């Protein structure tokens, strides 16, 4: 039996929502799992990518055996029903940029889980899948929108449960994703964060999260300009993304820009704007990064409202 699952990219944090806000985007990885008939073949993991360099990066940083995050997710699901994985062939068709803050690891975790769940006859419901995916990923902000789609506010409770609510992103606001041509691992990006933060910064972000939810619900552009500010992670990660401070400064002068934030752990950035002046916005980012010899792929994308989907079953 063979199952294929198409999983969207995700962007997390979105300014003030550290480890809690996430949004699905229309870039995709496809994960296929099939049971092999030859006993003793074990686990086989293959990655197919459009670019050789990206494929090399995957092979270097993601184990292609039982130590892979894909296999760990699958194994946890099997173990939850008292089984161990049989001989499996796992194939990842990768289109989401790796180590760019766009949820590539979350996508393969979710894809592996959903495919394995289908193979097993769907023993796990959404609650269990979210819990297992978060256990492997470490936090729910990427895996939740990868599973359910849309803009999602999520939290992992003390008992391991994931609770979430979906927000309707205003159609009037554009999301421009700027992906530089270099990687930044999540481990490095998290290593610069302090173990403790001042109370004033925690209060600042709590206020901004409230503003964010209200701004989205009421389509209040002026409130969103305030809501996208952050003191928990972006100030510390700024030095890891050359030119980000200059991009933010240059975009302040553009009337229709609501904010510029890191996508997840970076180095990709999101620019949220009202529906005009996109060429000028892209030109500012392109020119700023090119002055630092950084090339970038810049895309204006809608929110992907659907989460992971089973696309083939044989």
| pLDDT tens per residue across span 38-84 | 655 567 777 777 644 444 444 444 555 567 888 899 999 999 999 88
* Average pLDDT of the segment spanning 193-203: 96
What distance in Å separates the CA atoms of residue 258 and residue 190, rounded to the nearest whole number? 26
Judged against a pLDDT cut of 50, whether residue 5 lies above it is answered with yes
Q: How far is CA 245 from the centre of its chain?
A: 22
What distance in Å separates the CA atoms of residue 79 and residue 128, rounded to the nearest whole number? 12
Domain ranges of the chain: 2-167+303-313, 173-301
The domain defined by 2-167+303-313 folds into: Ribosomal Protein S5; domain 2 (3.30.230)
Contacts of 261 by beta carbon, 8 Å cutoff, 6+ apart: 13, 14, 15, 228, 230, 234, 269, 270, 272
Question: pLDDT at position 169, please?
Answer: 97
Half-sphere exposure of 60 (CA within 13 A, CB side): 10
DSSP 248-309: HHHHTT-TTEEEEEE-TTSS-EEEEEESS-HHHHHHHHHHHHHTTT--EEEEEE-------E
Judged against a pLDDT cut of 90, whether residue 220 lies above it is answered with yes
Question: pLDDT at position 58, please?
Answer: 46
Please, are residues 154 and 20 in contact by the beta-carbon 8 Å criterion? Answer: yes
pLDDT tens for 274-289 read 977 899 999 999 999 9
* Average pLDDT of the segment spanning 108-115: 96
Question: pLDDT at position 53, please?
Answer: 40
**Domain at 173-301: CATH code:** 3.30.70.890
Between helix 140-148 and helix 126-137 the angle, nearest 10°, is 140
The radius of gyration of the chain's CA atoms, rounded to the nearest angstrom, is 20
What distance in Å separates the CA atoms of residue 44 and residue 89, rounded to the nearest whole number? 5
Question: pLDDT at position 67, please?
Answer: 72
Q: What is the average pLDDT value for the chain, to the nearest integer?
A: 90
Please, are residues 241 and 261 in contact by the beta-carbon 8 Å criterion? Answer: no
Alpha-carbon torsion (133, 137, 139, 142), positive or negative = negative
Judged against a pLDDT cut of 70, whether residue 146 lies above it is answered with yes
What distance in Å separates the CA atoms of residue 115 and residue 124, rounded to the nearest whole number? 11
Residue 3 is given by DSSP the state E
Between helix 104-119 and helix 126-137 the angle, nearest 10°, is 140
């Amino acid at each position: 039996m063979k199952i294929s699952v198409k999983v969207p990219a995700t962007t997390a944090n979105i300014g003030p929502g550290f480890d809690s806000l996430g949004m699905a985007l229309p870039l995709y990885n496809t994960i296929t799992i099939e049971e092999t008939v030859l006993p003793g073949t074990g686990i086989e993991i293959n990655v197919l990518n459009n670019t050789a360099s990206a494929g090399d990066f995957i092979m270097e940083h993601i184990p292609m055996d039982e130590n892979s995050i894909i296999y760990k997710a699958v194994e946890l699901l099997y173990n939850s029903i008292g089984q161990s994985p049989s001989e499996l062939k796992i194939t990842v068709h990768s289109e989401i940029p790796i180590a760019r803050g766009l949820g590539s690891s979350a996508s393969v975790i979710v894809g592996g889980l959903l495919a394995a769940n289908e193979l097993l006859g769907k023993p796990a419901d959404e609650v269990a899948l979210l819990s297992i995916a978060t256990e492997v990923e470490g936090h729910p902000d990427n895996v939740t929108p990868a599973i359910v789609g849309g803009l999602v506010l999520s939290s992992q409770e003390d008992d391991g449960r994931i609770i979430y609510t979906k927000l309707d992103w205003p159609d009037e606001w554009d999301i421009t994703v700027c992906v530089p041509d270099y990687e930044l691992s999540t481990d490095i990006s998290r290593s610069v964060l302090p173990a403790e933060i001042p109370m004033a910064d925690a209060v600042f972000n709590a206020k901004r999260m409230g503003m964010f939810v209200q701004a989205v619900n009421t389509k209040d552009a002026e409130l969103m300009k305030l809501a996208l500010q952050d003191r928990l992670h972006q100030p510390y990660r700024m030095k890891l993304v050359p030119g980000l401070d200059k991009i933010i400064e240059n975009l302040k002068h553009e009337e229709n820009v609501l904010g510029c934030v890191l996508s997840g752990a970076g180095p990709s950035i999101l620019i949220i704007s009202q529906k005009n002046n996109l060429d000028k916005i892209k030109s500012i980012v392109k020119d700023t990064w090119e002055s630092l010899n950084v090339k970038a792929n810049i895309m204006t994308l809608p929110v992907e409202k659907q989460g992971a989907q089973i696309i083939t079953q044989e």
